[in-house]
Structure 1
Amino acid sequence: MDFRYKGKEDVTNSVSLLISILIRHPEVAKINLDPEKQVLRFTFIYSGRLDSSEMNLLKGKIVTSIEVYNALEGKDPQVVQLDYKITDNLTMIEIQRDVDTLVQEEIALMVELFRHYINNKLVTEENDPLVDEDLLVQEELIEHMLEIVKSKSEDKRLYAFRDEGRVLVFNK
């Protein structure tokens, strides 16, 4: 067996996962895969500056919702963390989740929470809307790729983000 090919296959699966998430959820501005920690980092952008009290309120609502979801699913996540950084007139909000307990439905929940709590200030790339059939295909692909990434060790740190209607993926 050629291990170099296997490694490329693992990277391809990880790249497919990141691309599928960004295609399915235009609200996610950037996504990173940290293979050492087995953590996915989702970045959402708030158009404006959130002060610390507003951020703490938002953080409490989102983290609590994710914890309740996982409790109802009978899962005990290792990493559920929300951080933020303010740059210029934007607030970058990052959610970290361990890959082992993450499922596609939880990703959809995170996106829906952001849409609900910061709808008119959530930076979203405007694309042609996907039809229901395409949405279902992307969701199934995300779930499938998550299962593959969970079961295989990968050593490439990957970054995916949007740029003028395109999805770009880099390794570092």
Structure 2
Amino acid sequence: MDFCYKGKEDLTNSISLLISILIRYPEVAKINFDPENHVLKFTFMYAGVLSDTEIDELKHNILSSIEVYNTLECKYPQVVNLDYKISDNLTMIEIQRDVDTLVQEEIALMVELFRQSIHKSLITEESDQLVDEDLVVQEELIEHMLESVKTKSENKRLYAFREEGRVLVFNK
């Protein structure tokens, strides 16, 4: 990855955000940052194929919960989408959220909703559990990096995912 250009700090903050989210939330299989639309795309993986009814129910529960959360916080998100793809015997569920109104607490809410909705077949990679202090540090880092990404004009598309216990980040 090339760090030799103007805006190095912006890219570093964006990369740190993606890495921190993947470290803190092992339920998130991959995450993309689309700087053009200022959107984060969280992908969760379900071991199996969800039916249309199950997808519709999951979509309703998650999107309505996000809507209620943002209403209580007096925020008006620009992008809140849920999409899915079925590949082999996996269902990949993607939530798109605009960075400008997203906060760490909402990310925690999304992850918890997935844990509760599809916990038995939600694919996670939990090798070393973080202790409570580490969890708090990661959450604070996520919040700080989100604020930084909101105010910067980073233009690199970033893609981060887990592979065999490591977090890999690429620019597209």
Q: TM-score range by the shorter chain?
A: over 0.9
**Match in the other structure for 2:35:** 35
Within 1, Cα distance between the matches of 2:57 and 2:47? 17
State the 1:7 CA deviation: 1.0
**Match in the other structure for 1:149:** 149
Listed as ranges, the gaps of 5+ residues in structure 1 are none
Q: Which amino acid aligns with 2:142?
A: I
Post-superposition Cα deviations, 1:17-75, rounded to whole Å, max 9, x if no partner, equal 00000000000000000000000000000110011111001100000000000000000
SS at match of 1:110: helix
**Would you say 1:170 and 2:170 are equivalent positions?**
yes
Within 1, Cα distance between the matches of 2:5 and 2:93? 36
**Match in the other structure for 1:75:** 75
State the 1:6 CA deviation: 4.3
**Would you say 1:115 and 2:118 are equivalent positions?**
no
SS at match of 2:162: strand
Q: Which amino acid aligns with 2:20?
A: S
Within 2, Cα distance between the matches of 1:5 and 1:137? 29
SS at match of 1:100: coil
**Match in the other structure for 1:58:** 58
Listed as ranges, the gaps of 5+ residues in structure 2 are none
**Match in the other structure for 1:100:** 100
Q: Which amino acid aligns with 2:85?
A: K
Within 2, Cα distance between the matches of 1:120 and 1:56? 18
**Match in the other structure for 1:86:** 86
Within 2, Cα distance between the matches of 1:126 and 1:161? 14
Q: Which amino acid aligns with 1:84?
A: Y
SS at match of 2:127: coil
Within 2, Cα distance between the matches of 1:127 and 1:40? 25
SS at match of 1:12: helix
**Match in the other structure for 2:15:** 15
State the 1:88 CA deviation: 0.3
Give the structure-2-normalised TM-score.
Answer: 0.97
Within 2, Cα distance between the matches of 1:6 and 1:134? 32
Within 2, Cα distance between the matches of 1:55 and 1:94? 12
